[in-house]
């Protein structure tokens, strides 16, 4: 488990294939399959009000980020803070740990929820809860939040998926249609694998192959004129179109100038954020970028400082880049983890799991700037001011900003009702 | 005097039978399997022969279990009248015992007098474990009566014989129970004869020893016991069989315990068992006063159907008297209770018929005690009401508006009729277990409250937040409406469920009925959301100026290659964006927006091949508030067309060819809030000038 989380931002080839197969074979890669042809005026705006945000970039700190050493420091308390100092930010009265100096310059565009709580203290279960708003169970796989967003918010482009996950596993659509599941990108620098026409094929050869496929499928398609069958042939047709279009360049960060790599940092996470921004530009609804390496049971302070070099650069770069391009207004950037870490420093200079209190950072679209919501006790152990915000409340907050109908019920195949954020309540204190 | 006569007669009978029936000799019988045993045939009953061994103990041998030689022998013996028909009443005992018994000179001998009775009547069940069809059959109740030691040992609950104490001897208690008592022993066949019972009585009183002790207890014959009655009859007094008393157990006896059903307090159970009598003037309570009478006198026949060795035993005449609702239900002939009219209530009238009437009830055990009949009569006269605290009079229907809703009486019957087909307990059909749909069971209160894995379906006092209430109040044509089959629930039924939730959704009815029409408690989220919406109101103002676009208009606009979507459901304003294949889009695309000019509030033309010409079109969309031409070839010339836009708040010109001159042309647009000029040809100087002209706007450069 631990090794999994340390390597969490790399996706093995095998893993990639299995995820991609789920996403693509389930009519996933090209969500326009179907919609492009016979569903053009779908109810893309299920909300009753114009959405404040249209895109989400969710930065998942897998392994559980130490909230005390990042977004929820307790100043003047070396007992629990160790060597970490607090610094002021661009927002009055909001402080961050000294590990995030660049991010501090963007706090006027961001809110921090200091009273996050989770009921789960083990990585997988807690991460599942954060991503789905539901507790993990043996009998059902719940859709991840990105899949909900893709399902409920509707498509805003016709060529690339609404839901992309960079690094890390999971992101599945659960019982929702597979096409809403996250398209997995293992390595942001490599972009979308296997999406270009093979070099040994020319248009004529390729065309005749497609024609052959169609001929072979003809009998089956006439015999079973069903939606699912049609969707497959649509998928092929659209895939060919996409393969030849420029839209796939969205996945290609090599087209970004060198200055961008400097801005975001050359780390996997930085490049992931850069890719996320490219995808948002190309109208992807939901991009999750995972950064592992936060399970700091040992040597917490060095590890966190190290991680923060990455995070701070990438996050501040992302916020700046989005703002300059005029995208921050409609793009919400969320950074959080599955739970926090113990205020008590253990014998190995590390911090252990602490689901009773952690932080979430929200910025950009739909988010009030310069808000620090709630307060914790003087040791950062548990919320004392403000509501405790459960994972489903956080998801409800994001969903609300996206204009998603929080009470829209989707039924699993067994007929059970589910909603985008379980029964979470949006936290209006951080919503613009 | 009579006693002597009987003794004499029995002696005579014995000697006579000895004359008539030639006694069989002892011989060795064998089975086809080769098993051999010795015995003397003393009688037969149907296909079963009764044999006696040398000790005088009787045992039964099925005719078919014997070898063919033995069969032939026995047939001949019967034909020659050597074997009497029937089971010998008393085990043939050596004549000396018989005489000593009659003279009463000697105590009861276990081996010759008690053991044979046990052997004949008890040992079918209470004997050594044996194999049958591969299963070990153990003695019932763990009691074995096949030897003296085992008899005296009793079972795990203790001994069944207390020497010298017939009242403390369970064995004696069970053989002296009334014949219709559940616990009477032997459970099959006739009860022991009074002579046999008397033998037990004497044997126990004499010390229950294996060998006769010196102590001798006088015999009490049947004639002695019944002489009084006989005499009365003889005196010509009308004969009336004694009302057979309900088995009255000695206090503290093993059988005297009161069964306390689960969920009933012991006091209540005891009161019920003792048949709590209503105080004078106290209204009759069905559960406390009437039901015990029915249970005592009627439920043997008018019970709930039950399964007896694979057969369903239905109540007689389809009448059940085990609960209020069943009593009131009556049968196909109509109700048996008519409130306030005892004379029309069959339950009451049949008890008052002459006893020789065929319809007299109860048919067994004598008439109902007149006091009890009076209780029933009073109950009917008082209105035949259900017990105060248990069952509502509107059970199964809709409660009156001032009556709190009862889960058991109102909600559950509704569930039973409309929901349990799918949401009942799991059952097996064609070998498959059919589980309740959605994992949701509604057949018991606990299940209803539990909900399913997705959470609860009932939130007390919050009907709107209760899935149960939500799914039944959906529009008829909604696919999720419950019940999915048949008509939706009636208004009254929905109100009833709503009230039940409002009253706290508890198993017991609430103290006060809730008002289903009371305004729901305001929710925090609702007030907060209006605040948020208020900030968006400038869009709403614009929205009023446009009419809802038709589906056809939107489809036509999408011919442009753009995605055209309403900002919200049934919202007049739309967003048009060229998000896919943007690089194929040129100026001609905007022509498709002609029909929805007033509707477009957001226009995203970034990364397309448009030129300044497209900006002219954009300038003609009066309600445009948001425009992005990021990364296009748009120049200063294009910006001029925008000056007519009164509501433009967001303008993204990053990555365009716009220069300081173009930026300057924006200075008059006071509505602008955000201007993005990064990566354009605008210089710092131009930005500074623009910032001066539009101090409120956020200008990113």
Per-residue pLDDT of A299-312, as tens digits, reads: 999 999 999 999 99
Is pLDDT of B109 > 60? yes
Is pLDDT of B222 > 70? no
Backbone angles phi, psi at A275, to 5 degrees: -60, -40
B524·A329 Cβ contact <8 A: no
Contacts of A283 in chain B (CB under 8 A): 577, 579-580
Average pLDDT over residues A19-46: 37
Strand B600-604 relative to strand B574-577: parallel, antiparallel, unpaired? parallel
Which pLDDT score is estimated for B229? Answer: 42
Q: At what angle do helices B95-103 and B2-20 cross, to 10 degrees?
A: 170
Q: Quick one: pLDDT band at residue B537, thresholds 50, 70, 90?
A: low
Which tops the pLDDT comparison, B13 or B637?
Answer: B637
Which pLDDT score is estimated for A238? Answer: 67
Which of B438, B568, B674 is facing A50, going by the closest CB pair?
A: B568
Q: Hey, CA dihedral for A46, A51, A55, A59, is it positive or negative?
A: negative
B61, B43 contact by CB (below 8 A): no
Winning range, highest mean pLDDT, from A169-173, A359-363, B425-429: A359-363
Is pLDDT of B523 > 50? no
- Distance, in Å, from the CA atom of A147 to the CA atom of A286, rounded to the nearest integer, reads 8
* Least confident piece of the model among A40-54, A217-231, B139-153, B537-551: A40-54
At B476, list the tokens. 């008829």
Average pLDDT over residues A192-211: 78
B452, B438 contact by CB (below 8 A): yes
| ipTM (interface pTM) | 0.79
Which of A154, A247, A281 is facing B580, going by the closest CB pair?
A: A247
Which of A50, A247, A416 is facing B453, going by the closest CB pair?
A: A416
Is pLDDT of A252 > 60? yes
Is pLDDT of A20 > 60? no
Winning range, highest mean pLDDT, from A206-220, A247-261, A266-280, B433-447: A266-280
Tens of pLDDT, residue by residue over B288-347, are: 788 878 888 888 888 888 777 777 788 888 888 888 878 888 888 888 888 888 888 888
Is pLDDT of A8 > 70? no
B145, B174 contact by CB (below 8 A): no
The secondary element (H helix, E strand) that includes residue B43 is: strand B36-45
Establish if B270 touches chain A: CB-CB under 8 angstroms: no
Which pLDDT score is estimated for B178? Answer: 78
Q: Which residue of A has its CA nearest to B535?
A: A432
Which pLDDT score is estimated for A355? Answer: 94
Strand A183-185 relative to strand A163-166: parallel, antiparallel, unpaired? parallel
> How many percent of chain B have pLDDT more than 90?
4
CA distances, B597 to each of A380, B562, B575, B601, B605 (Å): 55, 14, 11, 9, 15
Bridge partners (DSSP) of residue B37 are B29
Tens of pLDDT, residue by residue over B148-162, are: 888 888 887 778 888
CA distances, B491 to each of A162, A264, B461, B474 (Å): 43, 62, 19, 12
Is pLDDT of A373 > 70? yes
Q: Identify the burial level of B204 via C-beta atoms within 10 angstroms of its C-beta, where 0-12 means exposed, 13-18 middle and 19 or more buried.
A: buried
Which tops the pLDDT comparison, B468 or B136?
Answer: B468
- Distance, in Å, from the CA atom of B267 to the CA atom of B286, rounded to the nearest integer, reads 17
Is pLDDT of A64 > 60? yes
Establish if A415 touches chain B: CB-CB under 8 angstroms: yes
Which tops the pLDDT comparison, A410 or B107?
Answer: A410
Helices (H), B105-163: 115-117, 148-153
Q: Quick one: pLDDT band at residue A49, thresholds 50, 70, 90?
A: low
- Distance, in Å, from the CA atom of B9 to the CA atom of B96, rounded to the nearest integer, reads 17
Tens of pLDDT, residue by residue over B366-384, are: 788 888 888 888 888 888 8
Establish if B654 touches chain A: CB-CB under 8 angstroms: yes
Which of B532, B535, B581 is facing A247, going by the closest CB pair?
A: B581
Which pLDDT score is estimated for A120? Answer: 92
Which tops the pLDDT comparison, A230 or B44?
Answer: B44
Residue of B552, B553, B563, B625 to mutate, interface with A, max A Cβ within 10 Å: B563
Distance from CA of A283 to the nearest CA of B (A): 6
> Which residues lie closer than 8 Å to A340 by C-beta, 6 or more apart?
A64, A65, A66, A67, A68, A72, A116, A354, A355, A356, A357, A358, A359
> How many percent of chain A have pLDDT more than 90?
48
Which tops the pLDDT comparison, B143 or A46?
Answer: B143
Establish if A243 touches chain B: CB-CB under 8 angstroms: no
- Distance, in Å, from the CA atom of B115 to the CA atom of B57, rounded to the nearest integer, reads 8
> How many percent of chain A have pLDDT more than 70?
84
Average pLDDT over residues B422-440: 84
Is pLDDT of B253 > 50? yes
A325·B454 Cβ contact <8 A: no
- Distance, in Å, from the CA atom of A95 to the CA atom of A116, rounded to the nearest integer, reads 17
Contacts of B538 in chain A (CB under 8 A): none
Which pLDDT score is estimated for A48? Answer: 56
pTM above threshold 0.90: no
Q: Please provide the average confidence, as pLDDT, over all residues in chain A.
A: 83
Is pLDDT of A165 > 70? yes
Which pLDDT score is estimated for B160? Answer: 85
Contacts of B571 in chain A (CB under 8 A): 45, 50
Which of A52, A157, A329 is facing B580, going by the closest CB pair?
A: A157
Q: Quick one: pLDDT band at residue B80, thresholds 50, 70, 90?
A: confident
A423·B652 Cβ contact <8 A: no
- Distance, in Å, from the CA atom of B44 to the CA atom of B67, rounded to the nearest integer, reads 17
B89, B199 contact by CB (below 8 A): no
* Least confident piece of the model among A18-32, A344-358, A381-395, B66-80: A18-32
Distance from CA of A266 to the nearest CA of B (A): 23
Contacts of A41 in chain B (CB under 8 A): 551, 554-555, 558, 564
Q: Quick one: pLDDT band at residue A11, thresholds 50, 70, 90?
A: low
Contacts of A139 in chain B (CB under 8 A): 453
Give the closest residue to A44 by CA, choosing from B475, B549, B531: B549
At A304, list the tokens. 């966190």
Which pLDDT score is estimated for A30? Answer: 38
Which pLDDT score is estimated for A396? Answer: 92
- Distance, in Å, from the CA atom of A401 to the CA atom of A395, rounded to the nearest integer, reads 10
Q: Identify the burial level of B315 via C-beta atoms within 10 angstroms of its C-beta, where 0-12 means exposed, 13-18 middle and 19 or more buried.
A: buried
- State the count of interchain CB pairs (< 8 A) between A and B: 127
b/e string for B235-249 if b means 16 or more Cβ within 10 A? eeeeeeeeeeeebee
Q: Identify the burial level of A191 via C-beta atoms within 10 angstroms of its C-beta, where 0-12 means exposed, 13-18 middle and 19 or more buried.
A: buried
Backbone angles phi, psi at B377, to 5 degrees: -65, -45
Which of A160, A414, A426 is facing B438, going by the closest CB pair?
A: A414
Which tops the pLDDT comparison, A307 or B212?
Answer: A307
Q: Quick one: pLDDT band at residue A398, thresholds 50, 70, 90?
A: very high
Backbone angles phi, psi at B132, to 5 degrees: -140, 125
* Least confident piece of the model among A100-104, B8-12, B240-244, B459-463: B240-244
In B283-361, beta strands by DSSP E: 306-308, 311-313
Give the closest residue to A53 by CA, choosing from A327, A319, A430: A327
Contacts of B569 in chain A (CB under 8 A): 43, 45-48
Q: Please provide the average confidence, as pLDDT, over all residues in chain B.
A: 78
Is pLDDT of B193 > 80? yes
Contacts of A409 in chain B (CB under 8 A): 480
Average pLDDT over residues B277-291: 76
Q: Which residue of A has its CA nearest to B701?
A: A324
Which of A50, A283, A425 is facing B577, going by the closest CB pair?
A: A283
Is pLDDT of B246 > 60? no
* Least confident piece of the model among A1-15, B330-344, B465-479: A1-15
Q: Quick one: pLDDT band at residue A205, thresholds 50, 70, 90?
A: confident
Which pLDDT score is estimated for A37? Answer: 30
B531·A50 Cβ contact <8 A: no
Establish if A411 touches chain B: CB-CB under 8 angstroms: yes
Which of B568, B678, B679 is facing A403, going by the closest CB pair?
A: B568
A428·B532 Cβ contact <8 A: yes
> Which residues lie closer than 8 Å to B188 by C-beta, 6 or more apart?
none
- CA-based angle B140:B146:B149, to the nearest 5? 105
Distance from CA of B273 to the nearest CA of A (A): 48
Contacts of B455 in chain A (CB under 8 A): 422-423
């Amino acid at each position: 488990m631990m090794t999994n989380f340390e390597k969490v931002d790399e996706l093995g080839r095998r893993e990639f294939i299995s995820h991609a197969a789920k996403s693509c074979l389930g009519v996933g890669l090209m969500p326009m399959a179907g919609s492009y042809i016979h569903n053009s005026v779908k109810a893309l705006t299920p909300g009753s009000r114009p959405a404040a945000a249209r895109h989400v970039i969710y930065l998942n700190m897998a392994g559980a980020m130490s909230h005390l050493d990042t977004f929820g420091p307790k100043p003047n308390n070396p007992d629990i803070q160790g060597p970490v100092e607090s610094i002021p930010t661009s927002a009055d009265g909001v402080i961050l740990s000294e590990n995030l100096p660049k991010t501090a310059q963007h706090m006027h565009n961001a809110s921090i929820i200091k009273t996050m709580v989770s009921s789960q203290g083990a990585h997988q279960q807690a991460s599942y809860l954060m991503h789905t708003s539901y507790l993990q169970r043996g009998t059902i796989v719940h859709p991840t939040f990105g899949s909900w967003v893709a399902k409920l918010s509707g498509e805003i482009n016709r060529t690339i998926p609404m839901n992309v996950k960079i690094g890390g596993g999971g992101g599945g659509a659960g019982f929702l249609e597979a096409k809403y599941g996250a398209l997995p990108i293992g390595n942001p620098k490599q972009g979308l694998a296997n999406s270009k026409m093979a070099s040994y094929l020319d248009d004529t050869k390729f065309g005749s192959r497609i024609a052959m496929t169609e001929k072979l499928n003809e009998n089956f398609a006439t015999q079973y004129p069903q939606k699912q069958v049609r969707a497959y042939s649509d998928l092929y047709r659209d895939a060919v179109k996409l393969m030849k279009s420029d839209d796939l360049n969205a996945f290609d960060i090599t087209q970004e100038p060198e200055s961008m790599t400097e801005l975001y940092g050359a780390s996997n996470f930085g490049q992931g954020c850069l890719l996320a921004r490219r995808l948002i530009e190309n109208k992807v609804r939901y991009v999750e970028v995972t950064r592992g390496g936060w399970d700091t049971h040992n040597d917490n302070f060095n590890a966190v400082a190290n991680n923060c070099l990455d995070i701070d650069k990438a996050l501040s770069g992302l916020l700046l880049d989005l703002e300059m391009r005029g995208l921050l207004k409609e793009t919400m950037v969320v950074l959080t983890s599955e739970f926090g870490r113990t205020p008590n420093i253990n014998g190995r200079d590390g911090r252990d799991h602490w689901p009773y209190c952690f932080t979430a950072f929200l910025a950009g679209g739909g988010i009030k700037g310069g808000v620090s919501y709630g307060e914790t006790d003087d040791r950062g152990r548990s919320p004392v001011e403000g509501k405790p915000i459960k994972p489903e409340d956080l998801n409800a907050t994001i969903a609300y900003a996206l204009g998603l109908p929080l009470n829209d019920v989707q039924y699993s195949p067994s007929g059970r009702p589910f909603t985008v954020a379980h029964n979470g309540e949006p936290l209006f204190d951080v919503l613009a | 005097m009579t006693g002597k006569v009987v003794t004499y007669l029995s002696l005579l009978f014995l000697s006579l039978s000895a004359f008539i029936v030639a006694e069989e000799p002892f011989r060795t019988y064998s089975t086809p399997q080769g098993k051999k045993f010795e015995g003397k045939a003393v009688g037969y009953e149907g296909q079963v022969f009764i044999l006696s061994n040398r000790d005088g103990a009787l045992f039964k041998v099925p005719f078919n279990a014997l070898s063919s030689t033995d069969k032939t022998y026995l047939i001949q013996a019967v034909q020659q009248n050597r074997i009497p028909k029937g089971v010998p009443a008393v085990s043939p005992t050596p004549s000396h015992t018989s005489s000593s018994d009659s003279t009463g000179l000697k105590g009861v001998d276990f081996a010759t007098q008690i053991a044979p009775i046990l052997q004949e009547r008890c040992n079918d069940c209470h004997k050594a474990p044996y194999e049958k069809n591969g299963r070990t059959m153990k003695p019932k109740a763990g009691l074995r009566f096949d030897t003296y030691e085992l008899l005296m040992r009793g079972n795990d609950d203790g001994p069944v014989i207390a020497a010298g104490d017939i009242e403390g001897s369970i064995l004696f208690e069970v053989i002296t129970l009334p014949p219709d008592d559940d616990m009477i022993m032997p459970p099959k066949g006739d009860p022991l004869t009074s002579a046999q019972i008397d033998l037990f009585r004497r044997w126990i009183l004499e010390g229950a020893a294996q060998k006769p002790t010196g102590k001798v207890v006088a015999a009490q014959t049947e004639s002695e016991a019944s002489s009084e009655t006989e005499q009365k009859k003889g005196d010509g007094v009308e004969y009336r069989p004694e009302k057979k008393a309900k088995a009255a157990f000695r206090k503290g006896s093993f059988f005297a315990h009161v069964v306390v059903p689960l969920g009933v307090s012991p006091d209540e159970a005891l009161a019920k068992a003792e048949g709590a009598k209503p105080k004078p003037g106290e209204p009759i309570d069905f559960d406390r006063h009437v039901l015990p009478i029915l249970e005592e006198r009627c439920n043997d026949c008018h019970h709930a159907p039950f399964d007896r060795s694979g057969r369903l035993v239905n109540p007689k005449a389809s009448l059940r008297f085990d609960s209020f609702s069943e009593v009131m239900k009556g049968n196909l002939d109509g109700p048996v209770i008519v409130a306030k009219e005892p004379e029309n209530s069959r339950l009451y009238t049949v008890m008052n018929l002459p006893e020789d009437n065929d319809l007299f009830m109860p048919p067994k055990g004598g008439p109902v005690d007149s006091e009890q009949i009076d209780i029933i009569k009073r109950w009917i006269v008082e209105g035949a009401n259900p017990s105060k605290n248990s069952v509502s009079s509107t059970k199964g229907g809709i409660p009156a508006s001032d009556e709190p809703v009862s889960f058991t009486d109102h909600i559950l019957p509704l569930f039973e009729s409309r929901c349990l087909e799918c949401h009942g307990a799991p059952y097996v059909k064609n070998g498959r277990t059919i589980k309740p749909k959605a994992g949701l069971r509604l057949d018991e209160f606990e299940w209803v409250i539990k909900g399913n894995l997705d959470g609860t379906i009932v939130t007390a006092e919050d009907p709107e937040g209760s899935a149960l209430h939500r799914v039944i109040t959906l529009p008829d044509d909604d696919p999720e409406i419950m019940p999915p089959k048949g008509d939706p629930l009636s208004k009254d039924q929905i109100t009833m469920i709503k009230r039940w939730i409002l009253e706290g959704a508890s198993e017991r009815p609430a103290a006060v009925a809730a008002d289903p029409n009371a305004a729901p408690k305001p929710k925090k989220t609702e007030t907060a959301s209006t605040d948020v919406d208020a900030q968006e109101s400038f869009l709403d103002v614009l929205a009023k100026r446009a009419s809802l676009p038709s589906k056809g208009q939107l489809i036509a606009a999408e011919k442009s290659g753009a995605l055209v979507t309403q900002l919200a459901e049934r919202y007049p304003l739309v967003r048009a964006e060229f998000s896919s294949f943007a690089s194929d889009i040129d100026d001609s695309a905007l022509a498709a927006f002609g029909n929805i000019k007033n509707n477009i509030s957001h226009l995203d033309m970034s990364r397309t091949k448009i030129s300044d010409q497209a900006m002219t079109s954009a300038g003609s969309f009066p309600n445009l508030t948001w425009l992005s031409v990021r990364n296009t070839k748009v120049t200063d010339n294009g910006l001029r067309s925008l000056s007519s836009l009164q509501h433009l708040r967001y303008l993204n010109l990053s990555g365009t060819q716009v220069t300081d001159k173009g930026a300057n042309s924006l200075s008059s647009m006071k509505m602008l809030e955000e201007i993005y000029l990064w990566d354009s040809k605008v210089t710092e100087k131009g930005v500074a000038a623009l910032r001066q002209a539009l101090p409120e706007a956020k200008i990113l450069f």
